[in-house]
Amino acid sequence: MKKLILTCALFASLFTTAFAESNFAHRFFEVKVDVPFSVSNNLIGLSDIFKEKVVIDLPKIADGMGKNGATFNTSIAPSLSINLDIPKGLIFGINLGAEASAGVGLSKDIFQFIGKGNVGMDNVTTKLNNTYADLFAVAAINGGWNGKKLRLNITGSAFWALAHMDASNTYVKIYTNEEENTMGVEANVDAKLYTTVNVNEGFSDIMGIFNQTKANLGFDITAEGKYDLFRFLSVGGNARIPIVPSRLNQVSAVSYNFSKEINLMDMISGKDSEEPAAETSAEGEGEGEEAQEDSKFISDPKKLASPYVIHRPMKLGVSADFHPFGNLLSTNGYIGVGIRHPFAKQKSETDFYWDYAVGGRLSLWNILSFELSHSRYDEIFKNQFAVALNIRLVEVDVGVSSQSASFAKAFTGAGIGGFVTVCVGF
């Protein structure tokens, strides 16, 4: 009987402790390294490939990709931060990091043509939609205060745009002329790479690159707030507002045109078309092999009379954290909006999108935690599972996700992402 009573008392004690608030996992000071990454597409998932019989159904792929066509995305954002977080006191931190992201979009027409033929279409034009690449270096300082119910944190971020690429004017056109029994193809590559350095000279002169880059400083400010509305419910909001853009004063271009037309009757009879393909390269027209050898994939950069200005994405959002069982079990939600390349001169580069997230967290005395979430950030749907081991002095968080620009493909392994976070402090 005594053993039963002791067992029940011990279980009740552990159960009560699991529900109670605990500062065991909270560090007043920490050094944090975070490395998130992702690669995704919206065409084919792992579940489509790992089958006994792999079937590539082109018409199904064309119908399932949505009106925006095919998209391919990748990103990585390593960072190092030093943070001070005192309960009912000061919040202060310093962060250094880099952000690299890229996206390629192909319009749906070419997939309709490949999967279903050219029935009802005299020509097919495939454009590169929302095709870009960005590289930033970031340094930030944040400060705030932990109140009894309100937590407020404001971050000022200085960022340097190291490179920006846009290729949204690139296209390929396939057409037919029934009257003349001809078929033709036109291709136009039109990409612009904005930088502060001459990419053709390499990156051996580190100090020269630093001196050229330090002048293109941009600045934005982020505000985050969280308020304990009830014992079991906290609400919050966040905003990242661009203030000063970073400026890129050099542009390199890749310009390539190709066109060819063939006579269908000549092709069927085995005759060669007498009309040669017309081509132009990034360096203009030349004569003979010497001109081809001198041509470069990327042209020599030109100084811009008016620098290209670029901001990091603008963000606005609200959140809620429901935790009726204390730290043991909680759920959270977020909804917001984002604007990529806000205030860009070319409106085609500005992209408006919705963000959201829902998730749940199970925490065992704030030492071992498990989190499952579904979200859409920066136009990428993500299903993520994360594990955190925290013994106060050291914390290691690891997460893995299946993701895609398509909601349905995010559940099939069309993309993979993850993060590793290590914190050391006291």
CB of 337 within 8 A of CB of 290? Answer: no
Instruction: Render each residue's pLDDT in the chain as its tens digit; 426 residues.
Output: 666 555 555 554 544 444 444 555 678 999 999 999 999 988 888 877 777 777 777 777 777 777 778 889 999 999 999 999 999 999 999 999 999 999 988 888 777 777 766 655 667 777 787 788 999 999 999 999 999 999 999 999 999 988 898 887 788 887 777 677 777 888 888 888 898 876 666 555 566 666 667 778 899 999 999 999 999 999 999 999 999 999 998 898 888 888 888 876 666 666 554 455 555 554 444 444 444 444 556 778 888 888 889 999 999 999 999 999 988 999 999 999 999 889 887 777 788 999 999 999 999 988 999 999 999 999 899 999 999 999 989 999 999 999 998 898 899 889 999 999 999 998
CB of 192 within 8 A of CB of 253? Answer: yes
295 CB-contact burial (10 Å; exposed 0-12 / middle 13-18 / buried 19+): middle
Number of CB atoms found within 10 A of residue 180's CB: 11
Give pLDDT, residue 234: 97
Give pLDDT, residue 283: 47
Q: Nearest Cα to 75, choosing from 45, 96, 101, 98? A: 101
166 CB-contact burial (10 Å; exposed 0-12 / middle 13-18 / buried 19+): buried
Overall pTM > 0.85 = no
What is the token pair recorded at 228? Answer: 């304990």
Q: Degrees (nearest 5) of the Cα angle 145, 82, 208?
A: 125
